[in-house]
Structure 1
Amino acid sequence: MSVPQVRRAVAALRGHAGRVNCVRWVRRRDGVALKVFSHRLLEFKLCEIFSCVQLVKSIPLKGHTEAVFAVDAVCQSDEPDFNVLIASAASDSTVRIWSRHGSEGNIFLMLGITYWLNKNDEFFIQFQKVLILPGHEDWIRGVEWAVCGEDLFLASCAQDCLIRIWKVCTKLKQLPETEDDSIKLKENIFTVKDADTSYAVSLESVLAGHENWVYAVHWQPSFSKDGSIQQPMRILSASMDKTVIIWEPDKESGVWLEQVRVGEVGGNTLGFFDCQFSPDGSMIIAHAFHGALHLWKQATINKKEWTPEVVISGHFNSVEDVKWDPEGEFVISVGFDQTTRLFAPWKRKEETEVTWHEIARPQVHGYDLRCLAMIGRFEFVSGADEKVLRVFRAPKNFIENFSNQSSDLPEGATVPALGLSNKAVFEGDMAVQPDEDEESFNTISNQYPEIYFQPLILTEPPPEDHLLQNTLWPEIQKLYGHGYEIFCVACNNSNTLLASACKASKKEHAAIILWSTSSWKKLQSLSFHNLTVTQLAFSPDDSFLLAVSRDRNWSLVVGSCEFKKFFTCCAYTDKNTAVHSRIIWSCDWTPDSKYFITGSRDKKVIIWGQCDLSVITEGNGLDSIKPCSTVLDAGDSVTAVGISRVLTPDGRYIVAVGLESGKIILYTWKQSGKEPTLADWTTGVEIDNSQSHALAVKRLCWRHHAGRAGHNDENSSKWLQLASCGADHCVKIFNVNRFAL
C-alpha cells in the first residue's frame, strides 16, 4: 500500500455537541470502507452514522438513556445495498443491537436485544449467556475477535497488566487427549441449541510484558491472498506504561513473544489509551492520554525497526488564545490542555501543496493556559490559571531550524520533574556519548535522559515524541503582581509595554497592570473596572490601550508624559452611557487607530470612535467617543472580533465576528457619514458549517500582511489569512480573498 507523505485533516464531521467517545470503521468483507460510526456523551445518548464518501450526517440512533461508550459493527453483505449489524453499549447497563436491510430499509432498535422488524417479516434473535471466562483480576479494558481458518481467537486486556488469548473451536476439533499424568489445558464447553453444535474454549496464552494497565488490544487486520481471507496471528497492545507492543507466536514453539516495543520516552504523559494497525500492518498509530496521535512505520529492510512518523497534532482541550508572529510566518496558541503550541506552514521540495504542522511546543505547563501575547518575533508571554505571567524566548535550535540564524542563545530547554519552569540548556550541558567522556554519567543529561533536551535538525515536521521533549522554549522571566488567575494579556506594537489583567469580582482586583519589557518591572496599575477585564488591545499606533470587561463597559486609556504616568483613562462607559447589556467578550482596533470594535454576549457588535481620536487627551474624551456604526445583531452571543489591517480594494474595513455557536462571519464596514446608517455594514462571507468551529470561537487574529504564510504568491495582495481558535480544541487558518468581499 502506498501511503501519501502529506498527512492532513480532510474533513470535520460535525453533529455531536458533546465529547465523542469512540469511532469505528465498518468494512465490507471485501475490505471496502463504507461508514464510520461515532457516538456522543451523556445528555444526547446517540450513535450517529456518517457516510465515508459524502461526509454528511446520515442517521442518529436514539435509545440509550446514558452515555454511549462503545460501538462496533459488522457488514453482513458485499452488495452495494449493504446490510449492517451494529452493537452499542452504554452507561445505562444495556447493549443494544441495530440492523439495516437494503437501501430502502430503516434501522430499528432491537428492543431488549430480542428482535427487530423489517418490511416483509418479523425476526427474533435471542441472546443467552453461555459462558464466563475467568482469569483477569481487574477491570477488563478491551476485547477483540479474530478468525484464523475455522477457529476463533479472542484477545482481552485488563488493568491487571495482562493480555489473555482464548481459542474457540468446535468440540470435534478440540485438542487431542493426553496421558492422565500430563498437563493439559482446561476446556470450557458450551452448546448452541439451534445449531446443535458444541464449542470448546481454552486459554491459548497469557502475555505479560506491560508494567501498567493495558487499555487496548487489537489483531492485525485480515488480508486476502489468492482469493482467500487470512488472519495474521499478530496482536498490538497499548498500555499506560507509555509503550505499544507487537506480539507474535514463535514459529517453532508457538509461544507468544514480544516482537516490537515502541512508545514515549519522557514527557509529562500517562500512557496510551488505544492503538491500531494499518491495513497492511506496516504502520502503527496510537492515541495517547494527553490527546496526541503517535505514528510509527516499519522499516523496509529491518522489519523489527520502527521509526516515528509525522502525524496530525493539536490541542486536546479548549484553545483560548492564538496570535500571529509579527512577520506572519507562524501562529502560537494556548489552551486548557496546559500547552503552548506553535504551528507553521511546511512545504516539501517534492510537493506543491503547503500543509500546516505543529513544529514546536514551547510550553508544557501545570495549569490551564488562557492567554498570550507576542513580544517580537521569537518571544512571548503567557498567562494561566495562576497568578504569574511567564515570558519565553526561542532557543537557538528553533531559530536555526526556522530561519537559519545563529546567536548567543540556549540550545533548547528542558522541564524538571514536577517542575513548571522550562530550564535553559546550553551547549555544554548536552549529553555526550560515553566513549567521548568517561565521566559522562555524572552529567545531568545522562542521569536523567528521559527529561533532557536533544537538539534537532528538522528536515520534516517533528514527530510527537520530539514535540514533547525537544521543542521547549526557555523561560526567561516571571512577572508577579496579580492577586488571582491571569485572564488576558497584550503587548504594544513597539514591544516595549505589556498590559495584563486577572479574574476579579471587586474593583481592586480588576486592575490592569502595565509592565516594561526591557526591565520586566511593574510600571503602573490602572483601576477602572469592577469585574474581570476580558480582553486588552493596544491601538496600532500605540497611543491607546482599550479594555473590555464583564461589567459590560469598556475603558480607553491614553498615554501621558505630563504626569509621569504612562497611561491615564480618557474615556469609558458606565451604566448611563453603556450600549452593551451583557458581558463584552472581545475588542479590536482598525489599522489607522481611528476606531475600535466591541463584541458582547448580547449579540451586538459596535464600532466606536469620532472624527479624530488623535485629539483625545486626559479628561476631554469622556463624552466625545460614541458609536460610529449601527448596532450589528450577529444573531448569537459574540465571543470574538477581529479587524484586518488590510482593507478591501474600495477602502472598507474587514471585520471577522466569532459566535458562541462556532460560526465565523466576515463583514465589511465603512463610515458613510457623520451619523450611522443602515448601509454601513455589509455581509461578506459566512463560513460554512463544515469549516467553522463546532463550539464557541475563543479568539480571532488576522495576519498583519497580505499574502499567505508559506506561499510565494505572484498576486499576494489578493489573499488575507485569518487565524481562529475555539472551545472545540481546534486552531484554524482561513484564506480570505479580499477582492471577493
Structure 2
Amino acid sequence: WIRGIEWAVFGEDLFLASCAQDCLIRIWKVCTKSEQFPETEDDSIRLKENVFTVKDTDTAYAIALESVLAGHENWVYAVHWQPSFSKDGSMQQPMRILSASMDKTVIIWEPDKESGVWLEQVRVGEVGGNTLGFFDCQFSPDGSMIVAHAFHGALHLWKQATVNKKEWTPEVVISGHFNSVEDVKWDPEGEFIISVGSDQTTRLFAPWKRKQETEVTWHEIARPQVHGYDMRCLAMIGRFQFVSGADEKVLRVFRAPKNFIENFSNITGIPMEKLCSHVSQSPDLPEGATVPALGLSNKAVFEGDMAVQPAEDEETFNSISNQYPEIYFQPLILTEPPPEDHLLQNTLWPEIQKLYGHGYEIFCVACNNSNTVIASACKASKKEHAAIILWSATSWKKLQSLSFHNLTVTQLAFSPNDKFLLAVSRDRNWSLWRKQDSSESGPVFSCCAYTDKNTAVHSRIIWSCDWTPDSKYFITGSRDKKVIIWGQCNLSVTTEGNMLDSIKPCSTVLDAGDSVTAVSISHVLTPDGRYIVAVGLENGKIILYTWKQSGQEPTLADWTMCVEMDNSQSHALAVKRLCWRHHAGRAGHNDQNSSEWLQLASCGADHCVKIFNVNRFAL
C-alpha cells in the first residue's frame, strides 16, 4: 500500500516522492520527452522510463525512478519535501526529504553533494515506552524544526541546533489525551490537576512558571500511569498520592516518586521547602518507576537499582541483560515541561497498593477529606454487585460493604465535614450514608436517607452529585435534564426516620436544557453569600449558576444563571466531570491570596481537559 506522495520542483525538473508499507521511499523524476533521459549503451543497466501525454497538449513526458531510499524498518506512513523558503529575496527549495515510519523514527534525507546518492542525514524518534511509531511529519517553513504525529495522538517537536546542524533536540510541545477524558481532580493545594481517560493513561498537568516572565502556561509534566485498560475514575489521597479505577476489577494506588517532586518544584517555581513535608514523611521514597515487560503494575525504582552502564570496551557490554535492561527509568532534572519521550518513559509513579473486592469494572471512586477512607463502586446490573466498598487509606483493608442500589453507582461524594457519603445511581435514586462512632463491631457508615420509587424526583439516570462547602446541602444532576439541591443535612437528628423525612428538595427543579452529565459546587461563595454551581451537559455546554435558599419553600428566584459558555469555550462532546479548585486564586500566579479569581477544571468525551478562570465578583 502506498501511504504518501508529494511533488517538488527543482529548476526545470519535477520530482515525486512516494512511501509505502514495503518500508521504502521512492523518488521519481519527470521531464518532457524532448529532454529525455540520456541514452546509454545497450549492454548497460538502464531504468525503464514510462512515457505519457497530457490531455489536449502534444507534449510527451517521461517518468523514471531516480532513487530508492531504504532506512526504515517498518511501514513508512509519510514523506514530505522541505518547503521552499526566501533567501536573499529569491525563493529556494532545498533538496531534502522528511519521512515518518512505524519503526518510531523520523529521518531527514539529502543527496550527497559529490555523488548525488541520497543518504540519511538525521534520525530522530522515540526510544522505549508504550508507542507504535509515527503517522505523519512536517518541516517548519525554514527547515529548522520538525513536528511529528505519533500513533498515540502525541505531537513531537525537534529543533536544529544553531552550531552543530546535525544535532536535533526535543522541544516543549502541547500534549493531552487522545480519547475520552473520564475524570479530573485538583490536588488539595490546587497546584496541579490529574486526569484519566479511555486512552488508558493518567496524566498530570501543572502551570509552567518561566523565570523572569509573567506568562504562565499549562503543560503535561507527568504521566503517572500508562495502563492496559481504559481508565474510568480517580481520587486524590492527600497531595502526592491517588487511587485510580479502570475497566478491570482492581483499584490501584500510586505515590509520587522523588524525581517527580524535584521536577515539579523546578517547573512550577514552588520551593522544595514547601513540598518537603511530603518528602520527609517518606525518607525511603523511590526515584521513579518502570513497567516490567508484559506487566501492568508500575514497579518502584530506587537509587541502588539504576545500574551504571559499563564502558564499551568491556566484554559485559554485549550481554543480553545490558542490551535489554529491566530498568528503563533514568532520573532527569528538568526546568521545563518534559518532551513526549521523557513523559513516556521517565514520569511513571510507583504503584504502592492494589485493592481487590469488586466483581466487575470499576466505575467511580472517592476519598474523604481527612484522607482516611476510600469509597468505590463498579458496574452492576444486580443489587449484590452494586454495593459500595469502603477501604482504609492507611491499612488498605476493606472496612465495609454498603448495599442499597440495584444498578451501577455512577458517582460518590463525601461531605466536606466527612460525616456523610452520598451515592447516585443508574437506578435513578440517591442514597445518603452517615458516619457512625466507629466501634470494632459496628458499621462505619449507615444509610440515613434515600429516594425510592415513591419519593424520587429524577426519572432517568443520575449521573453526578456534589456537596456545598458547609455540608448542609447536596446537588444531583440527571439525564432527565434536571438539577436539584437537597438538604438540610446538618440537622442534629438521632433517629433514622427523622433524617429520612428532613431531607427534601431545597430548590426548584432546574431545567438545564439537555442531559446533565456533571455538576460541581465551588468551595468559595459569591461576595453576597450565594453558592456557585457549575453544570455540564451532554451537548458539551457548561453553565454557571448561583443558588441560595430564599425561604422555607423553594422558589424560582433561588437560581440565577450567570454564564453560559459559548461554543468556542465549551466541549464538543459530553462533559464528563467538573471540579472546582478548592480555594480562591489561580494556580501558578501570584494572586494565590486573591479572592477575586476561581478556577474550574472540566474534561469531556472530546478528548479535552479545560481550565476556566472565573471572576467571582462578576457573577
TM-score of the alignment, normalized to the shorter chain, above 0.5: yes
Could you state the TM-score of these two structures normalised by the residue count of structure 2?
0.94
2:467 touches 2:475 (CA, 8 Å); kept in 1?
A: yes
C-alpha displacement of 1:433: 3.5
Seen in structure 2, the aligned counterparts of structure 1 residues 165 and 442 have a Cα distance that, compared at 3 Å, is closer
Change (3 A) 1:617 1:251: farther
Change (3 A) 1:617 1:429: farther
Is the partner of 2:534 in helix, strand or coil?
strand
- C-alpha contact 1:396 1:407 (8 A) present in aligned 2: no
Counterpart-to-counterpart distance in 1, 2:89 and 2:282: 59
Change (3 A) 1:442 1:500: farther
| Closer, same or farther: CA 562–265 of 1 in aligned 2, 3 Å | closer
Q: CA deviation at 1:350?
A: 3.5
Structure 1 residue 611, shift from structure 2 partner: 7.1
1:297-376, aligned counterparts within 5 Å? Answer: 297-376=159-238
Q: Is the contact between residue 429 and residue 445 of structure 1 (CA under 8 Å) also seen in structure 2?
A: no
In structure 2, the CA distance between the partners of 1:370 and 1:197, relative to structure 1 (3 Å rule), is same
Structure 1 residue 689: Cα displacement: 1.1
Match of 2:550 among 646, 669, 672: 672
Count residues with an aligned counterpart.
600
Say which SS state the counterpart of residue 556 (structure 2) adopts: coil
1:420-450 deviations in Å (ceiling 9; x for gaps):
0001000011131424996975999844359
Using the TM superposition, give the Cα deviation of residue 733 of structure 1 relative to its aligned residue in structure 2, in angstroms: 0.6
Q: What do residues 637-667 of structure 1 show as CA deviations (whole Å, max 9, x unaligned)? A: 0000000000000000000000001110000
**Residues 586, 530 of structure 1: CA spacing in aligned structure 2 closer, same or farther, 3 A cutoff?**
same
Q: Equivalent residue of 2:502, what SS? A: coil
Q: Report the CA distance shift for 1:438/1:208 in structure 2 as closer, same or farther (over 3 A).
A: closer
How far does the alpha carbon of each residue in 1:354-405 deviate from its partner, in whole angstroms, 9 at most, with x for none?
0000000000000000000000100000000000000000001111222479
Structure 2: how far apart are the matches of 1:487 and 1:275?
Answer: 38
Task: Rate the CA distance shift 1:437–1:647 in 2: closer, same or farther, 3 A.
Answer: farther
CA distance in 2, matches of 1:364, 1:443: 29
SS in 1 for 2:253: strand
Partner secondary structure for residue 620 of structure 1: helix
Q: Kindly state the Cα deviation for residue 152 of structure 1 after the two structures are TM-superposed.
A: 1.1
Q: Offset of 1:598 from its aligned partner?
A: 0.2
Give the 3 Å change call, closer, same or farther, for CA 231–442 of structure 1 in structure 2.
closer
Q: How far did residue 160 of structure 1 move?
A: 0.8
Task: Tell me the secondary structure at the aligned position of residue 509 of structure 1.
Answer: coil
Q: Bigger CA drift: 353-362 or 444-453?
A: 444-453
Q: Does residue 537 of the first structure (1) align with residue 425 of the second (2)?
A: no
Structure 1 position 691, deviation (Å): 1.0
Contact 2:477–2:483 under 8 Å retained in 1: yes
Q: Whole-Å Cα distance in 2 between the matches of residues 634 and 443 of structure 1?
A: 65
Q: List per-residue Cα deviations over 1:581-606 (Å, max 9, x = no partner).
A: 00000000000000000000000000
Aligned to 2:334: 458
Change (3 A) 1:364 1:697: same
- TM-aligned CA deviation for residue 407 of structure 1: 3.4
Task: Pick closer, same or farther for the CA change 1:512–1:361 going to 2, 3 Å.
Answer: same
Partner-residue secondary structure (3-state), 1:520: coil
Tell me the SS of whatever aligns to 2:122: strand
TM-superposed deviation, 1:224 = 2.7
Partners of 2:240 and 2:460 in 1: how far apart? Answer: 37
**How far apart in 2 are the matches of 1:548 and 1:437?**
65
Distance (Å, rounded) in 2 between the aligned partners of 1:375 and 1:322: 14
Distance 1:611 1:583, change over 3 A: closer
1:469-504 CA-partner distances (Å, limit 9, x unpaired): 000000000000000000000000000000000000
- CA shift, 1:202, in A, is 0.5
Q: Does the CA-based 8 Å contact 1:431-1:446 persist in structure 2?
A: no
Correspondences of 1:501-540 after superposition (within 5 Å): 501-540=377-416
Which whole-Å deviations, capped at 9, do the CAs of 1:102-140 have from their partners, x for residues lacking one? xxxxxxxxxxxxxxxxxxxxxxxxxxxxxxxxxxxxx11
Deviation at 1:509, TM superposition (A): 0.4
For 1:368-517, list aligned pairs within 5 A.
368-403=230-265, 407-435=283-311, 446-449=322-325, 452-517=328-393
For residues 428 and 443 of structure 1, the distance between their equivalents in structure 2, rounded to whole angstroms, comes to 21
Deviations 1:193-249 (A, max 9, x none): 422111110001111111111111111011233444322111111110100011111
Paired residue for 1:737?
615
Give the Å deviation of 1:168: 0.7
Note the aligned Cα RMSD (angstroms). Answer: 1.9
How many angstroms does 1:304 deviate by?
0.8
Of stretches 411-420 and 445-454 in structure 1, the one that deviates more from structure 2 is 445-454
Shift of 1:191: 1.1
- Note if contact 2:311-2:317 (Cα within 8 Å) is conserved in structure 1: no
Aligned to 1:605: 483
Mean CA deviation greater in 529-538 or 391-400: 391-400
SS of the aligned residue for 2:344 comes to helix
Contact 2:292–2:326 (CA under 8 A) maintained in structure 1? no
Tell whether the 8 Å contact from 1:315 to 1:337 is kept in structure 2 after alignment: yes
- Distance verdict in 2 for CA 1:299–1:611, change over 3 Å: closer
Q: Is the 8 A contact 1:641 1:699 kept in 2?
A: yes
Q: Structure 1 residues 256 and 544, CA, compared in 2 at 3 Å: closer, same or farther?
A: same
Q: Which shifted more, 400-409 or 411-420?
A: 400-409
- The CA distance in 2 between the partners of 1:693 and 1:573, in whole Å, is 32
Cα distance, 1:306 vs. partner?
0.6
Looking at structure 2, the residues matched to 399 and 437 of structure 1 have their Cα atoms a distance apart, in angstroms, of 37
Q: Helix, strand or coil: the match of 2:174?
A: coil
Q: Distance in 2 between matches of 1:414 and 1:338?
A: 16
User: What is residue 143 of structure 2 aligned with on the other side?
Assistant: 281
Aligned to 2:275: none
Question: Which segments of 5 or more consecutive residues in structure 2 lack a partner in the other structure?
Answer: 267-280, 433-437
Whole-Å Cα distance in 2 between the matches of residues 614 and 715 of structure 1? 35
Secondary structure in 2 matching 1:613: coil
Matched, 1:174 2:50: no
Alpha-carbon offset, residue 151 of structure 1 = 1.4
- Contact 1:266/1:450 (<8 A) preserved: no
Structure 1 residues 614 and 473, CA gap change in structure 2 (3 angstroms): farther
Instruction: Tell me if the contact between 2:585 and 2:592 (Cα under 8 Å) persists in the aligned partners.
Output: no
Are the structure 2 counterparts of residues 444 and 498 from structure 1 closer, same or farther at C-alpha, using a change threshold of 3 Å? farther
TM-score, reference length from structure 1: 0.79
Q: For the residues of structure 2 that align with 1:616 and 1:699, how far apart are their CA atoms?
A: 35
Q: 1:453 to 1:576 in 2, by over 3 A?
A: same
- Distance in 2 between residues matched to 1:264 and 1:230, nearest whole Å: 31
Alpha carbons of structure 1 residues 413 and 562: separation in structure 2 relative to 1, 3 Å? closer
Deviation at 1:618, TM superposition (A): 3.8
Larger CA deviation: 424-433 vs 568-577: 424-433
Task: Kindly indicate whether the alpha-carbon contact (under 8 Å) linking 2:471 and 2:489 is maintained by their aligned counterparts in 1.
Answer: no
Paired with 2:319 and 2:191, the residues of 1 have a C-alpha distance of: 37
| Whole-angstrom distance in 1 between the partners of 2:385 and 2:313 | 55
Q: Secondary structure at the residue paired with 2:34?
A: helix
- SS of 1:449 mapped into structure 2: coil
Residue 458 (structure 2) pairs with residue 580 (structure 1): yes
| Corresponding residue of 1:627 | 505
* Cα offset, 1:351, TM superposition: 2.3
Which has the higher mean CA deviation after the structures are superposed, 402-411 or 545-554? Answer: 402-411
CA distance in 2 between partners of 1:193 and 1:219 (Å): 27
The answer to whether the Cα contact below 8 Å between 1:267 and 1:451 also exists between their aligned partners in 2 is: no
Distance change in 2, residues 1:277/1:431 (3 Å): farther
- Cα distance change, pair 151–734 in 1 and its aligned pair in 2 (3 A): same
Percent of residue pairs identical = 92
Structure 1: gaps spanning 5 or more residues: 1-138
Rounded Cα–Cα distance in structure 2 between residues aligned with 1:367 and 1:494: 30
Q: Distance in 2 between matches of 1:665 and 1:280?
A: 44
SS in 2 for 1:398: helix
Match of 1:689 in 2: 567
Q: Map Cα deviations across residues 515-559 of structure 1 (whole Å, 9 max, x no partner).
A: 001110111001100000000000000000000000000000xxx
Partners of 1:398 and 1:435 lie apart in 2 by 29
Of residues 91, 99, 113, the one that matches 1:229 is 91
Distance change >3 Å, CA 630–CA 440, structure 1 → 2: farther
Native 8 Å contact 1:169 1:201 kept in 2 = yes
Structure with bigger RCO (C-alpha 8 Å, 6+ apart): 2
CA contact (8 A) 2:287 2:303 kept: yes
Bigger shift: residues 254-263 or 707-716: 707-716
Return the alpha-carbon distance in structure 2 between the equivalents of residues 247 and 692 of structure 1. 43
Q: Once the 2 structures are TM-superposed, how far is the Cα of residue 328 of structure 1 from its aligned partner?
A: 0.4
